[in-house]
Amino acid sequence: PGSERISAAEELTRVLPILQKLQQQFPEIILSIDTYHSEVAQQAIHAGAHIVNDISAGTMDGNMIPAVASFGNVPYVCMHMKGTPETMQQLAKYDDVLKEVLDFFILKTAECRQAGIKDVIIDPGFGFAKTIAHNFSILKNLAVFNMLERPILAGISRKATIYKTLGVTAAEALNGTTVLNTLALANGAHILRVHDVKEAKEAIRLMQEYHNA
């Protein structure tokens, strides 16, 4: 929250060299480019990125959805946010947060489908234009997004919802992160965005054993 926007040109100077080196050193890994600039998304894909992650779901660059669609088989992570990173926390007001986010995705998934994007991943945007109460409400009711018949991504790792609720720092939020990641998995998440891979893998493994029992 509150981060300032940078230009596509500046973003490209920052990410392209890193993408190219990662592609050279670890050709087997799947790389995701986090950007709301269509130009960055296109050049990053040409440089080796496999997935586009857009926090604005195309609202900050009208060319983004057509640009992703033009590649045919590039997955698109479509996230819910109101406003921009600079303004979003002033816009965290909803009559019914769950209904508004769901309605947003009904429209966005239709737009992506009509544009030709075959693989859309839904990210409800924990912490983006949402209060702590909003985040817990979405987490508790995450399964409702299954009606969209798209993979659900949960990005809760070390966010303010955890450390402010517990009265700790982000650095101390690993245990809380694991708890909420586990709840997300239990409530329908298919993908976790994490900082702590080992702990997340352990949570996933235990959930798999639980469901298979």
Find out whether 116 and 71 touch, Cβ atoms under 8 Å. no
For 93, counting Cβ atoms within 10 Å of its Cβ (0-12 exposed, 13-18 middle, 19+ buried), the class is exposed
Among candidate residues 82, 130, 150, 193, the one labeled active-site is 193
Whether 158 sits among the annotated catalytic residues: the reply is no
Q: Are strands 76-79 and 191-192 parallel, antiparallel or unpaired?
A: unpaired
Residue spans of alpha helices (H) in the chain: 8-25, 38-46, 64-69, 97-115, 132-140, 160-166, 174-186, 197-212
Task: Name the DSSP class of 4.
Answer: P
Catalytic residue list contains 5? no
Exposed/middle/buried for residue 100 (C-beta within 10 Å: 0-12, 13-18, 19+): middle
Q: How far is CA 37 from CA 56, 113, 133, in A?
A: 10, 20, 30
Q: Which of 93, 113, 159, 198 is catalytic?
A: 159
Active-site annotation, residues:
159, 193
